[in-house]
Amino acid sequence: MRASSGLLRYHLVEHNVCSAAILGRARLPTLDGQRVTLTCGADDKLHVNGRPVAQPDVVATNGVIHVLNHVLVPDSGTRDFRDFVLGSFSNKLRSCKMYT
């Protein structure tokens, strides 16, 4: 579960950041200690690490959510994440007796 909690913390920043506050480019620290890059181009579309945000600025009671259609994978966590996903997938296949 360590990989999954680290992955979740990579999707969270400490402060409320609305898309209107991003002028060009900003690098923000995530709760796992790494950084994500937020960009807002001439088309006013928000991107995280170069990937488009599906729905920006969803206001919640505890912050602002920018909905993504993808999972952000931190550089340092790529191996842990891959191992977590493959391990979980292999376990599911074993439980269905589809993999030994």
54-100 pLDDT, tens digit per residue, is 999 999 999 999 999 888 887 765 556 566 655 665 666 666 665 55
- pLDDT number for residue 2: 57
Domain boundaries, the chain: 2-72
**Phi and psi at residue 15, to the nearest 5°:** -105, 160
Q: Is the pTM of this model over 0.75?
A: no
Q: What is the pLDDT of residue 1?
A: 44
Architecture of domain 2-72: Roll (2.30)
Comparing 9 with 77, the larger pLDDT belongs to: 9
Task: Tell me which of 42 and 34 has the higher pLDDT.
Answer: 34
Which tokens sit at 14?
Answer: 């400490």
Which residues, 6 or more positions from 28, have their beta carbon under 8 angstroms from its beta carbon? 13, 15, 17, 35, 36, 38
**Alpha-carbon distances of 66 from 13, 51, 70, 85, rounded to whole Å:** 11, 12, 12, 24
